[in-house]
Amino acid sequence: MSDMPAWAWGATIALIIALFVFDLLVAVRRPHAVGIREATFWSVFYIAAALLFGLAVWLLGGSTAGAEYFSGWIVEKSLSVDNLFVFVIIMARFAVPAEYQQKTLLFGIAAALALRTVLIAIGAAAISLFSFTFLIFGLILIWTAVQLIRHRDEEPDVEDTFLVRRARRILPVSRDFHGGRMLAREDGDRVMTPLLLVFVAIGSTDVLFALDSIPAVFGVTDDPFIVFTANAFALLGLRALYFLIEGLLERLVYLSIGLSVILAFIGAKLILEFLHEDVTHSVPEIPTPASLGVILLILVATTGASLVRVRHHPEEKAKPGSLRRRRERPREEEPAARPPR
């Protein structure tokens, strides 16, 4: 589907934007704590939308394109679960009230999709220009898998990202949420609320996740259209999925290990593909249906083993894992922090 016409790109982008706007207007128009029934409805809705879009890709682009889309979507959806771990940490660290969480998540996810679109364009251009890009992507994924295994019991420092530090220096930070606004005025001065910091934290940490998820989906397909749509439909509905499985996340104690195995497998697949195309055709390739089967098997085994482990050891809690050891540092005082009015 690499020769996708411009009108199809335009229609797909319009559909994705419309779904985000629909989510914003219908689901987030009134600040409130999200219950299990509401989260279930929206999760099912967006999963159904992703599956219907995949069916359309299968019918219009053929079985190969359809299999690549579903494989890419499953990879991105499974990796996005690790995002949810970090979202939970961010909400807790910044003490975001329940009624403001979904609004912040939605804006953060929209920003993440915009940033990922840029990375996808860069990745697609690199693949078309340099044949060794698959080798680089494969090595990145294997390195990420090793780091995630090494630091699987740690949590990323969501308050120490570059963008969060810069945001704190630009404007004073209020301790008041000001009715869910991101910018407000206190004593005539412009201030940012904690929600704006949360928005920046979600967007900036998702960029780090994209550094492994984008190469991972390119390991399934090199079609930019499928890469983009798999990412978009994996992120759509992530807000609802957060509230649906928030309590389940801490029970997935082996999730980091399962994701590490998936990343290492896709990294090896990319390296084999590079060797097959640029060194010798005697090196075998891993077909997309086989990749899909392996990924699903790893996810099922990881989830099942996690639930069994927690059943016998209920005191254990899952951690999202990190790509580097968290630095021990004294907590900096927030500049010009203002008391609540």
Residues contacting residue 101 through CB under 8 Å, at least 6 positions apart: 33, 34, 91, 242, 243
- Say if residue 226's pLDDT is above 60: yes
Mean pLDDT across 295-300: 88
User: Do 300 and 248 meet the contact criterion of CB atoms below 8 Å apart?
Assistant: no
Mean pLDDT across 165-190: 80
Q: Provide the mean pLDDT of the chain.
A: 79
Mean pLDDT across 96-105: 80
The boundaries of the domain holding residue 116 are: 6-312
Poorest-confidence range of 27-36, 107-116, 262-271? 27-36
pLDDT at residue 185, as a whole number:
85
Q: Is 336 part of a structural domain of the chain? A: no
Between residues 286 and 337, the one the model is more confident about: 286
Which residue reads 């494969």 in tokens? Answer: 138
pLDDT at residue 156, as a whole number:
63
Q: Is 324 part of a structural domain of the chain? A: no
Confidence category of residue 2, pLDDT binned at 50, 70, 90? low
- Say if residue 142's pLDDT is above 80: yes
Q: Is 178 part of a structural domain of the chain? A: yes
User: What tokens appear for 91 in the block?
Assistant: 């909400």
User: Do 69 and 58 meet the contact criterion of CB atoms below 8 Å apart?
Assistant: yes
Q: Is 339 part of a structural domain of the chain? A: no
Task: Burial-class residue 8 by CB neighbours within 10 Å (0-12, 13-18, 19+).
Answer: middle
Q: Is 244 part of a structural domain of the chain? A: yes
Ramachandran region of residue 304, left (φ > 0), alpha (ψ -120 to 50) or beta?
alpha
Between residues 136 and 165, the one the model is more confident about: 136
pTM of the model: 0.73
Q: Is 317 part of a structural domain of the chain? A: no
pLDDT at residue 335, as a whole number:
43
Confidence category of residue 320, pLDDT binned at 50, 70, 90? low
Between residues 208 and 132, the one the model is more confident about: 132
DSSP 334: P
C-alpha span between 124 and 120 (Å, rounded): 6
Q: Is 319 part of a structural domain of the chain? A: no
User: Do 189 and 168 meet the contact criterion of CB atoms below 8 Å apart?
Assistant: no
Q: How many domains does the chain have?
A: 1
